Structure 1
């Protein structure tokens, strides 16, 4: 999706936040306030749904790519820990991080760091991969300003809920070699436009918290 990073950057505006723990997405209470749909190629369907007797966000993609974006303005040094949970039905076998045609994942959570000019913005793209080794990372085939991190990999945990936690402040410094600007937004993306596949994923609540 060559327009993905540009679209995320142009969408984000400043919205101050402060708390010991910050709720980014509270899907368990059927709350989608502040989340906005942004199409890139076709449309992934996002809807609140029941799964394993709890309220979650369901994403279903058929040869399409669109995301949900939540605008923020957060100092990641004060709120470095990103926590979320997710579940997928299967990984995408045509995934290939080295090519644009293979740049699809069953589930992604983006953290976006805007700058004055969109070509200087940075993003970390946490994914559930099919082939990338777990905890490995690589630049997006579209831009080196977006780093893809395989938080989960393979089908071993497919069909089960998995809880994740990442230190986005430390990840940013490791991957870009500099102090991060303000976190400008978080996006959810389930996409199959490049691989021409179909997949369903589920997302639980998303939080930022202090060290």
Structure 2
């Protein structure tokens, strides 16, 4: 117990910052009316009975999410103004059933000062987020302490592992960025630089292969999917459109 408390005391300040920066969250609220029941939500929900919800973060201004029909596509229009929040969908797919994830996005501009490897610049115009269960006994002492503190303060543990597909300003596609706040959040760059701005870009990723490459172990059950556009750290604005996010078994 003394050993654990030592890590808790050392991690307390960092954990509070972590909680305010989106690793632990407030209870999900109903998604905006323009999202719930929209063609985008139905296409993205698949066979799951769980609806999409709007996940706010403590101390953060929420990002705006709304359904839009753009370029002949069903989309979610997202606008961040020094804000951060997530549109989230709970699922349950066991490891042996993991397949692929298909998603698309259109980004009109990058966030000039963003750098996802730095705590005070960790913003992105688009993120597709996958959340996994796992063997929590493998967590480092620091991450276990952060998770326990998050549970005490919010009633919800930090996810065992979070994989994000992101658009980075400079790093090449295939690069892996570890969160400056916790090793259990890792970002896989799938798009880089301004060359393909203002175009709809389509992706299909092998979930298991990407997880194993990024985390170096086999995945646990996939328990959550989300989209996130954030500009809170750089105090800037960001806009994007997301096509449906589909899990293909």
What is the TM-score of this pair, normalised by structure 2?
0.72
Matched ranges for 1:37-186 at <5 A: 37-40=54-57, 41-115=60-134, 118-119=157-158, 121-186=160-225
How big is each residue's C-alpha offset from its partner over 1:33-90, in whole Å with a ceiling of 9 and x where there is no partner?
7110011211100000121122211100000001110000012442321111101111
Q: Aligned residue pairs: how many?
A: 196
What is the TM-score of this pair, normalised by structure 1?
0.84
User: Which has more helix, going by share of residues?
Assistant: 2
RMSD over aligned Cα, in angstroms?
A: 2.4
**Any gaps of 5 or more consecutive residues in structure 1?**
12-24
Aligned residue number for residue 21 of structure 1: none
Structure number with larger C-alpha Rg: 2
User: Which has more strand, going by share of residues?
Assistant: 1
Distance in 2 between the 1:31 and 1:81 partners? Answer: 13
Structure 1 residue 26 displacement after superposition: 5.2
Structure 1 residue 7 displacement after superposition: 2.7
CA contact (8 A) 1:129 1:150 kept: yes
**Any gaps of 5 or more consecutive residues in structure 2?**
1-16, 29-37, 137-146, 148-156
CA contact (8 A) 1:30 1:48 kept: no
Distance in 1 between the 2:173 and 2:219 partners? Answer: 24
Larger relative contact order, structure 1 or 2 (CA cutoff 8 Å, min sep 6): 1
Structure 1 residue 6 displacement after superposition: 2.6
